[in-house]
A and B are shown apart, each in its own frame.
Chain A
C-alpha cells in the first residue's frame, strides 16, 4: 500500500511548527531522534509569530521578590484552581531557564537599565513578569527557534496538512497528509507523534486567530482514541478591534493595559471599578471580557459596540517604542493615532484552555505513541489562562514533549505496520467532495457554524442555547459530510476548508457538550443559568472522547495537589480554593 505514496520514515513526527512544535523538535533531535516537522503554513508563519505582549517567567529582574511559587500561585488562581497542579508547578519552575536558553540561542529581549531581560506587567500576574520585545515577542521567539532548529538537522515539511493519525492496535504509528501545493498524498511512519497544532478560534466569527486554527490536533487526537479535557473553557480576549469590519477581532495586546492603558465606557467611567476594584484594568481576561460585554449590552458601549481603551495620557514616544505594532495597526487599519485618541475594543475569541489530556512530565497523551504540547494540550491553564503564560507553556512543555516522545521512540521496537484500510479510508474522505455532482459549499457551512458558536456557545451560556447549539452543529455535520468542492487538487483553499470544517465541527461539538455538562460559572465558562462557582465542580475535569462520529462527555477527578503546595493558598477565600 505505502508504495503508492510518497512516504517518509522518522523516529519522531512533530505536527506543528509553532513555538511548541519547534521546541519539541529541537529537544527530540538533541536526544538523538530523527525528527520530521509538518506544518500547514510556511515555516515561521505559525500563530506563535503573532504573539505580542510577552513570555511569563519569574526571572525576578524587575521585582526581586518574584519567585516560581508566586508565579505558580497566580497561575492557579487565574485558572480558578482547575489547572493540573503539576503542570502549573513545572511551568513556573522551568520558564526562567527556557527564556534564558532562548537568549543563548540568539533572541534579543528588551533590557532593564542594568542590562538584563526586562519584564512588564500583565493581568493576573502579581509582579512585572513578562519578558518581551516591544509588542512582537512571538516573532522573536519563533524566529529564534526556527533559525536554531534548521541547524539541528530537522526535516521540515511545510504547507503539508495532516488529516489522520494511523494506528496499529492501540499505538499511533504514523500520519496521513496532503501537500497543499499539489494536493498529493504523503505518508509518515513514526515511532511517536507530537501534536503541537494550536487552537480552534476559526470555529467562531470574531477571533484573533488565523485560518490555521481549526482544531486539527484536537480532532486528530479524538480520532485516535485519545481524551480531551476541559473543552468548555474558551478564552475571550477582552480587547479585540471592533472597527473597521475587516479587522474585527484582531488582537489589541494586553500590553496596552500592562503599560498603563485605561478602559472607559461611553459615559467616560472607568467601569472596571464596579467589576474588580482592586486590579482594575489588570484583572484576569475572563473578568474584563465579561465586563466589556456587559457594558455594551447595557447601553454604555462605544459607537461601534465596544469599550474605549486609552493610552494617550502616556508620552507619545514611549507608546511608539513599547507598542509599535499597535500604533501602526490602528494608524493603518482604523485611521486612529493611539498616542492622541482612544481605541475601541471588544471581546474576541483568542485561546482554548482545553485540549489533549497529557502527562505533565512527558506530554504523553492517553494513547501510546501520542504526545501533545502547547495550545493543543489541556490542563496547564485550568479555567482561564493568564496572558504570557502561553509562550512560556510552549517552551516548557514543548521541550518536555520532545524529550518524552524521543524516549518513547528510542524504546519502541521499530516502526509499526501501516494498515492499508486506514490509509484508504483517509484518502476516500479527502476525495469524495470532488466526486459529488452537487452539495453545499464549505464556505457557507463555515459561516453558519461560526455564527452558531458565537451566539449559542459564546461568552455567556445557557442550557437552552447550548442545546440549540448542539442541534445546529449536528445538522451542519450532516451537511459537511455532503459537501462539494470545485476545481483541482492543486492549492485549492475550498478543498482545504472542506476538511478543516470537519475538525471544527467535531471540536465545536466537544466544546458545546462540555459546556452543557458544567453547571456552574468558572473562569472563562460563564453560565447565566448557573452564575456561581460550584465548589464540587472544582474537583473535576470535563472529558471528551469520540464514539464513532459522536462526541461523548464525562467527568473525571482532578489530580490532587500535595499539601505543601496547597498551603500556599491558605489565605485565599474558601470559594477560590475549591
Chain B
C-alpha cells in the first residue's frame, strides 16, 4: 500500500519540533484522516481539535505546508506528491499542545460586539434578495483561518487593537440585517480598529466558506465609518431615523 510521510508539530509552550510519521495512503484521504491514523496507531496523545469532519464546524484549523487550512478539507492527493506533508498549529495564536492553539481571545472579542437590536414595531417581512448578503456573512464557521493569516494579527500581534476579519464579518452581518436598528461605526473605529486593515485580501483567500470578506464586508464597513466620521449630519439622521446608508 502506498504511504504518506507527515511531519507533525509535537510540543507545547515550552518548545517542540516536527516529528515524522508514516501512514498508509487511502483513496480520497484528507490530512485529518492521516492525523487520526497517527493517533490511533502511533501517538495516542497527539492533540488535535475536530468535530464534524465535513468542513462545517471550523474546529480543525491548522497550517499545512505553511498555509492555514481546515485539516478535514485538505485532501492528501492535492498536496505535492513525494514530499512530506508538514502540519503545524496556527501561528497567530498561542500554542496549547501539538496542533491545538488557544483561541480564547476570539471569544472575548465577540462578546464586545454590540448585539443584534431589532427595530421596534417593524414588520418581519423581507425579500430573499435583501438578505442574500447577510446570509453570506452568516455562513462563517469560526475557523479563525482568516484571523491566522491577517498580518495585523499574525505579524504585528495587534490583538490589543484589532478585532480581525472574522469579527468584521460578524459586524457586517449585523449592520446589514434589514431589521437591525443599531449603529456600530463607533465600535468599528475605536474598538474593532477597522482602520488597521489595509485591504490586502489575504483573509478572503483562505476563507473555506468563500466569504468575500474584504470586498463585501470590510470595505462597505470602512465606507460607513468614513461617512459617519466626516458627515456628522448624516450620522445624526441615522441616529434619529434608525435608517442606514442605502436604505
Contact = CB atoms under 8 A, between A and B. Distances in A.
A181 B134 contact: no
Contact of B111 (A50, A100, A150, A333): A150
B67 interface: no
B47 to A, nearest CB: 4
Contacts of A492: 44-45, 47
Contacts of B28: 243-247, 333-334
A147 B216 CA distance: 22
Interface residues of A, number: 62
A2 to B, nearest CB: 25
Interface stretch (A27-35, A74-82, A132-140, A567-575): A132-140
B96 A486 contact: no
A250 B103 CA distance: 27
Contact of A495 (B45, B118, B126, B135): B45
B52 A49 contact: yes
A43 to B, nearest CB: 6
Contacts of B30: 246, 333
A142 to B, nearest CB: 9
B115 interface: yes
B99 to A, nearest CB: 10
Contact of A43 (B98, B107, B135, B180): B107
A104 B107 CA distance: 23
A491 B12 CA distance: 10
Given A133-B135, A325-B54, 4 more contacts: A50-B54, A139-B56, A151-B115, A332-B55
Interface in B104-135: 107, 110-111, 115-116, 118, 124-128, 131, 134-135
Contacts of A5: none
A110 interface: yes
B186 interface: no
A45 B58 contact: yes
A136 B56 contact: yes
A488 B128 contact: no
Interface stretch (A111-119, A166-174, A260-268, A307-315): A111-119
B235 interface: no
A487 interface: yes
Interface of B: 12, 26-30, 33, 39-41, 44-59, 73, 75, 96-98, 100, 102-103, 107, 110-111, 115-116, 118, 124-128, 131, 134-135, 138-142, 174, 177, 180
Nearest to B178: A108
B57 A49 contact: yes
A41 B29 CA distance: 24
Given A45-B57, A332-B55, A332-B75, A111 B128 contact: yes
A493 B46 contact: yes
A289 B164 CA distance: 45
Contacts of B180: 106
A151 B40 CA distance: 40
B54 A250 contact: yes
B30 to A, nearest CB: 6
A103 B126 CA distance: 12
Contact of B29 (A136, A246, A447): A246
Contacts of A108: 131, 134-135, 138, 177
A58 to B, nearest CB: 18
A244 B96 contact: no
24 contacts: A42-B59, A42-B103, A44-B142, A50-B56, A106-B180, A111-B127, A111-B128, A115-B126, A136-B56, A139-B138, A143-B140, A147-B116, A250-B54, A325-B55, A442-B44, A443-B39, A443-B44, A447-B40, A485-B45, A486-B45, A490-B47, A490-B97, A491-B96, A493-B47
Nearest to A334: B28
Contacts of A488: 45
Closest 10 CB pairs of A and B: A244-B28, A494-B44, A487-B45, A115-B125, A106-B116, A491-B47, A246-B33, A491-B97, A111-B128, A210-B51
Contacts of A116: 124-125
A5 B101 CA distance: 25
A245 B1 CA distance: 15
B27 A245 contact: yes
A332 B28 CA distance: 9
A244 B27 contact: yes
Contacts of B46: 493
A441 B44 contact: yes
B165 to A, nearest CB: 17
Contacts of A45: 51, 57-59
A487 B44 contact: yes
A148 interface: yes
Contacts of A43: 107
Contacts of A442: 44
Given A244-B28, A486-B45, A492-B45, A211 B177 contact: no
B156 to A, nearest CB: 25
Contacts of A494: 39, 44-45
A45 B144 CA distance: 13
A325 B56 contact: yes
B50 A211 contact: yes
B71 to A, nearest CB: 11
A329 interface: yes
A41 B51 contact: yes
Contacts of A247: 28, 53-54
Contacts of B142: 44
Nearest to A443: B40
Nearest to B139: A136
A249 B167 CA distance: 33
A44 B59 CA distance: 10
B110 A490 contact: no
B18 to A, nearest CB: 18
Contacts of B98: 491
Contacts of B97: 181, 490-491
A328 interface: yes
Contacts of A250: 53-54
Given A136-B56, A150-B110, A332-B55, A210 B73 contact: no
Interface string A16-56: 00000000000000000000000001111111011000000
B174 A106 contact: yes
A111 to B, nearest CB: 4
Interface in A139-170: 139-140, 143, 147-148, 150-151
A275 interface: no
B51 A211 contact: yes
B128 A328 contact: no
